[in-house]
Amino acid sequence: MIFSVIQYRIVLSFMTRFWAAFKDQLIEEAAVGDIGAAIRHAIEPNILFKWQIGSFELIFSDVIVVSWIVMVFIFVVAWLAGRRREKIPSHVGQLLSESLVNLLLNLCQNSGMTYDQAERVVPFVGTIGLFITFTNLSSLFKIPPPAKNPAFPIALALLTIIYVIATSIRLVGLRGFWASLVFPKAMLLPFRILDFIIKPMSLALRLFGNVFGAYILMEFIYIIIPVLIPGVVGLWFDLADGILQGAIFTYLTIMYIGEIVEGAHEAEHEHQIRQSAHI
């Protein structure tokens, strides 16, 4: 809580510097001659502020500012949508948010969770999906999307895999989690453990590669043909691809949890069958 308040104040005090850096970048890009240098400039993180603490270096780049803006935006929109709750929804906010939650609940149930389990998974998963979607959509406003900095997707993927492990232990218990690891044969255990290293890597690389590739391509198009074409190509690379990446991240997170829950369930079922056969 205290940390977030401090961070928020730092972000506020550096907002002006952020806008100055942003404006300088726009002006520089308008008068650019060398394409390679321009792209290299575009992929460098905009460092607003460095803070030396001993041997550590805290770096505040545009990633932090953009993600905090998105967080405030999501908070305000969600607050407005959930302010007046009625039993029979009449305004758009409640309808939209209810259908979004319903969609996620259905997705969870399709991937092998019960309704109660799905209800406990949806808040985190929906939040992370909305966050990724809206941060990717920031490239619509010519603000570099935070996911082009590899630190952002790596942090999200680590958080997600920790959440997947913790929440599946909470849902099926430690015994169920172990049973899902060794379910058909105990021989699979090393591969299952390796999976927990590969999954966050593939999540992070997928998000980073897609957003970074789209960002570089859009920068390239903005430099060589700045008229009309970026609007058409941007429909896919800024709008659709950003939403798709958020949806895929959410979908995969749900699938990872559902896999463990279903594995535990099947192992339990097998165990019961074997017990009844003994009797």
The reply on whether position 206 binds another protein by CB under 8 A is yes
Closest by CA position to 149, among listed 135, 137, 129, 162: 135
Considering the complex, what minimum distance in angstroms separates the CB of residue 270 from another protein? 24
Q: Which of 46, 139, 210, 253 binds another protein (CB under 8 A)?
A: 210
Task: CB nearer to another protein: give 46 or 70.
Answer: 46
Pair 142, 26: CB distance under 8 Å: yes
Of 179 and 257, CB closest to another protein: 257
Applying CB under 8 A, among 212, 220, 233, 266 the residue interacting with another protein is 212
Does 103 interact with another protein (rule: CB under 8 A)? no
Query: How far apart, in Å, are the Cα atoms of 68 and each of 46, 171, 176?
Result: 16, 31, 38
d(CA 115, CA 108): 8
Give bridge partners of residue 158 from the DSSP assignment: none
110 binds another protein per the rule CB under 8 A = yes
Residue span binding another protein (CB under 8 A) among the ranges 66-74, 122-130, 186-194, 251-259:
251-259
Q: Are 133 and 71 in contact (CB under 8 A)?
A: no
Q: How far does CA 17 lie from the centroid of its chain?
A: 27
Q: Distance from first CA to last CA of the chain, Å, rounded?
A: 56
Q: Between 65 and 128, name the residue whose CB sits nearer to another protein.
A: 128
Choose, by CB under 8 A, the member of 20, 37, 43, 76 that binds another protein: 43
Residue of 184, 190, 213, 231 interacting with another protein (CB under 8 A): 213
Q: Which residue is it, tokens 């800024």?
A: 238
Give the interface with another protein as residue ranges (CB under 8 A).
Answer: 40, 43, 110, 202, 205-206, 208-210, 212-213, 216, 248, 251-252, 255
